[in-house]
Amino acid sequence: MIVRVLSPAKINLVLRVTGKRPDGYHNLLSLMCRIGLWDEIRLRPAPGSVTLRCSDPMLPRDETNLAFRAAQVFFEAQGREPGVEIVLEKRIPVAAGLGGGSSNAASVLIGLNHLHGSLFSRRKLMTLARTLGADVPFFIFQSPALASGIGDILEPCPRLPRFHLLLVCPALTVSTRAVYQNLNLRLTNCQKQLTRARLKKEAFHPARHLCNDLEIVTLTLHPELASIKRLLVRHGAVGALMSGSGASVFGLFRGADAARTAAASMPQEPGWRLFLADMLLDPVQLVQEQ
């Protein structure tokens, strides 16, 4: 049996950095939502090893790729010899603040669990995911979430309205590590007093809540991202923000037609990739048997 698994991207509607921890990581307050921009993963049992093939020739095909490592973690948790062939079709831009690598890892865990008769509960899969990276459990959570801690403590966020997105991904590679290393917590970008209690209580509104503390670093390094934000608003977005550490920027639109019109009107700058996507507010069937 071959299993096909969809692997969605995500955006950060809120990303507050609340402090640095003794272990070098940062405490966060983040509001995350999956979006309908997908990688696709196919899993086929192949006894004796983990192998990975990928449509992007620049991505590693060993344990330094989170999808590969996720398979190893799954089989280690079973206490059995690994055996799967992974074929990864990349559509989510790499190093763009959209969580593609974390999503791939989560989707491998979900797909392998399906292949093996749903051996592990969702709670157990999230425990395994936490060993792979702070963002990975979110993609198993299956709901928009408020994240705290280093981003791995998740609570559902049911009061999120449905927006349509236009995502602009310029030809830039941003190092998340470098962005955090250059972040001055006394000079954060977002002046909104957003707390966990407030985000749980209030219905999300772009003017009151869109916020990303990492923008002050990434936009200083790449000021063209600020121009993209202004362009999106000029073309009808009710709000625009950089996702994660960048370099992708998204605009929120109240209707799909408005987002499509904006996409058609945006300038065709060299290296820009534009994507239309919907917010995924409900659980999505990610796994199909082939």
Active site residues: 10, 135
8 Å CB contact between 166 and 250: yes
CB atoms within 10 A of CB 154: 20
Burial (CB count <10 Å: 0-12, 13-18, 19+), residue 23: exposed
CA distances (Å), origin 244, targets 13, 106, 146? 9, 18, 14
Handedness of CA 108, 111, 117, 123 (dihedral sign): positive
Token pair recorded at residue 83: 């055996």
Comparing C-alpha atoms, which of 172, 56, 35 is closest to residue 98?
A: 35
